[in-house]
């Protein structure tokens, strides 16, 4: 059997977590990490007792079975292309790029290559979202008229993360846009988005917002709302409500959902809220990286291709335009 040797670029918040997950996956023989900040890569390598490469060139030359890209968003296109050019299968965290042109360049490059690329939309591997998709597909919900999606962080990411993040729609809402498409099997045709800044100044300094509300129209007439925020003091709140003519499917409504009923007599005892995405989605991250091993081995197709990630990105792009221009924006206006 051939040796499985995985490289990981970017040992920040999600990268150090993914590196640890990789070391636990059955069949993985070795993991090697690199970061623009070599000290950071070395610290992760020391902690996990794995190898580190002094720079990205050395990482790419390390005879890899696959590359996991968890660097800052604006560096993804260059790294994906560099790996694909060397014939190395890629798992890259969402989004593909910070803008449409960067995303399109990657989609075109990957389309003309046999090397597989998987984009990291981990909600596709979460048990709740999978059950919601199955419920829609089975017809048990009747026809879906409304979806309500929520992604509320308990506290903002570090200030230095925001300028390179692409903004709240491309960085955060893009998860909801992807999963709404995936759960319903429908396309978004039009968006209206608005936002507000009531938190720290660094959001406004980057032209970003810390709170946003979005209305989406789907191609079958269903309507979806998406609520995004960086200051949800009650805890990490990620849910999706799918409401149909015959029933509903609710993702994320469990004893850890940070929802505090003020109805008299309603039981107050609940478990503590998830502190953030690492804990809430840990099982999904493990599953998506295990899936990538199969993708890299050529035994399954990519479960989230760059072309699919582009569709979610178009929705994010339309939201950004809608917010800036205070008007509904059709997806056809931003599609290239």
Contacts with ligand NAD, residue ranges (CB under 6 A) = 9-15, 35-37, 40, 56, 70-73, 75, 93-94, 120, 122, 161, 171, 277
Q: How far is the CB of 263 from ligand NAD (least distance, A)?
A: 33
Q: How far is the CB of 261 from ligand NAD (least distance, A)?
A: 28
Residue 94 and residue 308 in contact, taking contact as beta carbons nearer than 8 Å? no
Of 57 and 219, CB closest to ligand NAD: 57
Q: How far is the CB of 37 from ligand NAD (least distance, A)?
A: 4
Q: What angle do CA 159, 161, 167 make, to 5 degrees?
A: 100
Of 231 and 328, CB closest to ligand NAD: 231
Q: How far is the CB of 93 from ligand NAD (least distance, A)?
A: 3
Q: How far is the CB of 78 from ligand NAD (least distance, A)?
A: 7
Give DSSP secondary structure letters for 295-319: HHHTSS--SS-HHHHHHHHHHHHHH
Q: At what angle do helices 13-24 and 282-297 cross, to 10 degrees?
A: 70
Of 31 and 141, CB closest to ligand NAD: 31
Give DSSP secondary structure letters for 152-221: E-SSPPPGGGGGGT--HIIIIIHHHHHHHHHHH---EEEEEEEEE--S-HHHHHTT--SEEEEEEEETTS
Helix (H, G, I), strand (E, B) or coil at 17: helix
Which token pair is 175? 């998860």
Of 158 and 267, CB closest to ligand NAD: 158
Q: How far is the CB of 140 from ligand NAD (least distance, A)?
A: 29
Which residue sits closest to ligand NAD, CB atoms considered? 12
């Amino acid at each position: 059997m051939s040796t499985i040797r995985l490289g990981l670029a970017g040992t920040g918040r999600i990268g150090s977590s993914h590196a640890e997950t990789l070391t636990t996956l059955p069949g993985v023989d070795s993991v090697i990490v690199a970061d623009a900040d070599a000290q950071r890569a070395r610290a992760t390598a020391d902690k996990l007792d794995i190898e580190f490469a002094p720079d990205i060139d050395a990482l790419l030359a390390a005879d890899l079975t696959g590359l996991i890209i968890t660097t800052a968003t604006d560096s993804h296109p260059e790294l994906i292309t560099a790996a694909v050019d060397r014939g190395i299968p890629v798992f890259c965290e969402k989004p593909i790029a910070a803008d449409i042109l960067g995303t399109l360049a990657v989609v075109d490059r990957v389309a003309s290559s046999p090397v597989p690329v998987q984009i990291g939309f981990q909600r596709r591997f979460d048990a709740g979202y999978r059950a919601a998709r199955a419920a829609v597909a089975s017809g048990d919900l009747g026809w879906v008229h409304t979806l309500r999606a929520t992604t509320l962080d308990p506290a903002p990411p570090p200030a230095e993360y925001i300028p390179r993040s692409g903004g709240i729609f491309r960085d955060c809402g893009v998860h909801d846009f992807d999963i709404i498409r995936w759960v319903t099997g429908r396309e978004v045709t039009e968006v209206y988005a608005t936002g507000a800044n009531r938190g720290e100044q660094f959001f406004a300094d980057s032209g970003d917002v810390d709170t946003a509300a979005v209305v989406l129209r789907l191609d079958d007439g269903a309507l979806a709302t998406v609520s995004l925020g960086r200051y949800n003091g009650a805890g990490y709140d990620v849910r999706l409500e799918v409401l149909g003519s015959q029933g509903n499917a609710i993702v994320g409504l469990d004893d850890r959902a940070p929802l505090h009923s003020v109805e008299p007599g309603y039981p107050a005892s609940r478990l503590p809220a998830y502190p953030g995405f690492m804990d809430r989605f840990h099982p999904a991250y493990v599953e998506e990286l295990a899936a990538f091993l199969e993708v890299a081995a050529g035994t399954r197709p990519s479960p989230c291709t760059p072309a699919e990630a582009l569709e979610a990105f178009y929705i994010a792009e339309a939201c950004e335009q809608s917010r800036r221009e205070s008007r509904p924006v059709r997806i056809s206006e931003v599609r290239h």
